[in-house]
Each structure stands twice: as structure tokens, then as C-alpha cells.
Amino acid sequence: MTKAILIDPTEMRKPSVLKAPEIPLNQYVSDPAAEAARYGRETLVRVYRDMVVIREFETMLDRIKKEGSYQGIEYQHKGPAHLSIGQEASAVGQALALTPDDYIFGSHRSHGEILAKSLSAIAQMDDAALEKVMTTYNNGDTLRVVETFHKNGGVKSLALDYVLFGTLAEIFGRFAGFNRGMGGSMHAFFPPFGVMPNNAIVGGSADIATGAALFKRVNRRPGIVIANIGDASMGCGPVWEAMMFAAMDQYRKLWPAEVGGAPPMLFNFMNNFYGMGGQPYGETMGFEVLARVGLGVNPEAMHAERVDGYNPLAVADAVARKKEILLAGRGPVLLDTVTYRFAGHSPSDASAYRTKEEMDLWRQHDSLIGYRDYLVANQLASDADLDAISEEVIDRLVRVLSAAVNDNLAPRVALDSEYIGEIMFTNRQREKYAEGEPWVLQKKEESRLAQTQAKFRYAFDEHGKPHPKLKTLTYAEALYEAMVEGFYRDPTMVAFGEENRDWGGAFGVYRGLTEALPYPR
């Protein structure tokens, strides 16, 4: 309990000076020989392929929105398309350091992150695992469409078409999309590859991702969790709430050591220097360097670091190092990933808030050009090799787009209430979400249930006379009984909120759970 932590007035009133840790900024130094040994030629070339896939995928969406066609295929898309053209290296580099057990949660601008994480998962999973995912997810409906246009090339090639089509069909509101067309551009997800739901609310993924990280820690699940949010989200309250929640001292000072420490939570700010149009750097914020914010959260400054998001290998190195910190229970972590979007906030954005000079300066640093030069200069690939990759990606996307806009092959979702209800509700009951014995501190019959179950269940006796109020079950006690049943049945169930533990909650609903449940629950 908190009373175990002494607040000593002598210590608190003692004069001193608070010293802050230094925060590294763009410290990665490329070593081609070491990078080749670390990743291998095939992976280093695949990084370029993945960046090209994202760039061309979003270029396709941009042309469809603005011109109504791509490579001769006409289509009118009325939905949103918040593009991340220019930010490819940040997404691909991050995914390079992750496994399918690691989760990412994104924003309204996360097409690239979805694709990067999925392509990384494909590279790591064997054919049997990929086939199982594709044949079972959505009852195999997505795969059946993909098989109509896929060219020969093995399971991993099929999986690439599968990811591209599943994502694009979702953006276009098609039944064969990853989320039956109900997630769309800003809420798409694919759990088998660790791609969790994105969020259109600025900074909204910070809280949800922190909850997922808490789930992983409490239930000893593998992997870390990343919230990919924009620099402008630093002005949003939910982001600060999430950082405070993730940094609580109780994880290390009050929780049992065997739980493993703090939730494995990484707040990754895709720092492209703009919100919708406002500029956090120099205008709407005061931190100047976003990584500085970590200094205000905990003594470790959230292990904050600024990383060059235009070098995918710098990002991969940073994420890999931070992942070790998180798995050791020493989080949370803040990454300030410097990047830039060439595209506007949306296709209708004329970028009136920034100059052509600035945009041209960033285009001179285009990560696709820079990384291509790196591969060629270090004899990891030739210009002809890389040109062939681009041609193959365009050919693949033409086939994917042709299928995604075909109403017969990929029909739109049926917009009726029954369909929406079937998507939202399972019409099934589930007793628990994991096997194993729930972690409790006392037998259920020794809990507060011994008191509440002795009370009357009705307000009146058989003669219509009111029972004494103190001997009659209250709403708060009824809620307590229901929760206790859940806690003793489902090992994944936890309770968190304001003053639940020692206070028992504002209305006493949680009273007695302090004695029944360990801190992590």
C-alpha cells in the first residue's frame, strides 16, 4: 500500500539541485560493414522495397483522390486519405526492429505503418504460419479475392498481395477488407501481424496503446507496444495522461518484482513538424525539441531520444535499443522521430502554411533517394536491381487496385443495421480470456462476499415490511459481487481507476478488493 512509502519532511525540505539526464539527438553513425553484418544484404534491400511499396501505395491513393485514376484504372474514392508520403523510412525502420508479438497503434496518417509492420511480419514468419493466417482470417474471404489475381511467386509473395489488397479494400469500404470495410482509412487494423487499430482522434492511440501495454505486463505476454502519434498530439491531454499512467512509480516500488516492472510502452512521435497546419516547432508548442518533454515525466526522462527518421537503419537501431529497456520493465520510452510529410494534411490541403523553399529542402533529403544511394554505394544493390523493384511494385499495385475497385470481385459492405450489429456484437458469451488460475490473495469465500451475501436481496419481507437498510444489499455491493465473480474466474481481468485501491472507489464498490487482489490486478 502507499503507506509503505514514507514521505519524510526532512528529506522533502532539504535544499538541493535537481539534475536532469542528457538527451541524445540524432546520434546514430552509419557503419555499412556493421550494418551488413547485422541485417544481411537481403534484409537491407527489402527495407528499400518496403519503402517503395509504401510510397507507391500512397501515391496511388493521392492520384485517385486528385485525378480519379492510377495507371489507367479509374475510380472515385469519396473517403479520407491522410497520406504519409515522405515518412516511409520512419515506418519501415521501426518495423525492422519489431516482431509480430509487438503491437503498434497509429493515427489518421498510418497507412505506411500498417504496411511496414505487416511486411516485416511476412519476412519473419514461415510459410505455414502465413498460410494459416490468410486462410483463417475473415473466414478466408480476403484470400479468395487475392488468389484471383496473384501471380506465381510463393507464399510470401502471396502474403504481400494479401496485405496490399486487404488494406486497400478496407480503405475503399469493401467486404473483403481486413475489417469488413468498417474501419476504413483511419481505423484499419490487422491483429495477426501486430497491427492494432488506428485512431482518428489526435493522440487517441496513446491511451489505448498504454492499456495494451498494461495487459501485456500483467498477463506476462511477449512483446512491446508502440503508439505512433504526431508531434501536434503533444498538446492533447490524453497523451499526457497516458505518459503519466505508463510512468507510475508503483510498477517498480509497489508491484511484486516477478511481474516485470513497468508496461512495455513506447511513445513514438512521428515528428513531421506540423499538425493539420499549425507548427509545434516555434508556434503552437514551447518545447523546441520534442524529446525534451521526457524530462518532465520521470527521473530517466523517459529514456528520451531524438532519432533521424530519414534513415531507416537509425530508426531500427533506436527501436531495438529501446525495446531492450522496455522488456526489462524500465519504461516508458519516448522517441522523437524526425521526419517530414511531402503530402498535405489531406488531398485538399494546398500547404499554405509552409513555403515551397522548405518543402524543396526536405525533398533534397528524400529518404528513398538517400537510402537508394546507400545501397548502391556499398554494392548491396545496383541501380538496375532497384529499378526492377519499383517496376515490380507498380505492377503488383495495378493488380491489387483492379481487384479492389471491382464491385463483382470485391463488393461493398451492406450498409444495414443487421450487418453493423453482426460486426459489433458476437452474440456469444465468454467466461474468461485466458486459461490458468487467477492471481488472488485470499479465497473467494473469505472476501467481502461473506458480508454481502448475508444481506437481503429484496427491499421488503414476505409481509411487505421494509428490511433494515444496513441489512439490505445496495447497488454498490451488487456491483462488487459481480466483479468479484469475474476476478476469480478470469485471470486477465483488472480494475483501474481513481482511488479504487485504498479508498475502495468513490462509492465503495471496490471495497474489499485491496485484500483480495494483488497490485497488478
Show me where the domains of the chain are located. Answer: 39-422, 444-516
User: How confident is the model at residue 423, as a pLDDT?
Assistant: 79
Phi then psi for 88, rounded to 5 degrees? -60, -40
Is the separation of the CB atoms in 150 and 158 below 8 Å?
Answer: yes
Structure-model confidence comparison of residues 153 and 378, the more confident one:
378
Question: What's the pTM?
Answer: 0.94
CA-to-CA distance for 363 and 320, rounded, in angstroms? Answer: 28
Instruction: Name the CATH superfamily housing domain 39-422.
Output: Thiamin diphosphate (ThDP)-binding fold, Pyr/PP domains (3.40.50.970)
Is the separation of the CB atoms in 116 and 50 below 8 Å?
Answer: yes
For the segment 297-308, the average pLDDT, to the nearest whole number, is 98
User: How confident is the model at residue 1, as a pLDDT?
Assistant: 63
For the segment 49-64, the average pLDDT, to the nearest whole number, is 97
Provide CB contacts within 8 A for 345, sequence distance 6+.
82, 274, 276, 277
User: How confident is the model at residue 409, as a pLDDT?
Assistant: 96
CA 149 to chain centre: 31
DSSP bridge partners of 190: 195
Task: Encode 254-291: b = buried (16+ Cβ within 10 Å), e = exposed.
Answer: ebeeebbbbbbbbbbbbbbbbbeeeebeeeebeeeebb
Confidence category of residue 65, pLDDT binned at 50, 70, 90: very high
Provide CB contacts within 8 A for 207, sequence distance 6+.
238, 241, 242, 245
For the segment 320-330, the average pLDDT, to the nearest whole number, is 99
For the segment 329-342, the average pLDDT, to the nearest whole number, is 96
For the segment 109-125, the average pLDDT, to the nearest whole number, is 96
Is the separation of the CB atoms in 121 and 50 below 8 Å?
Answer: no
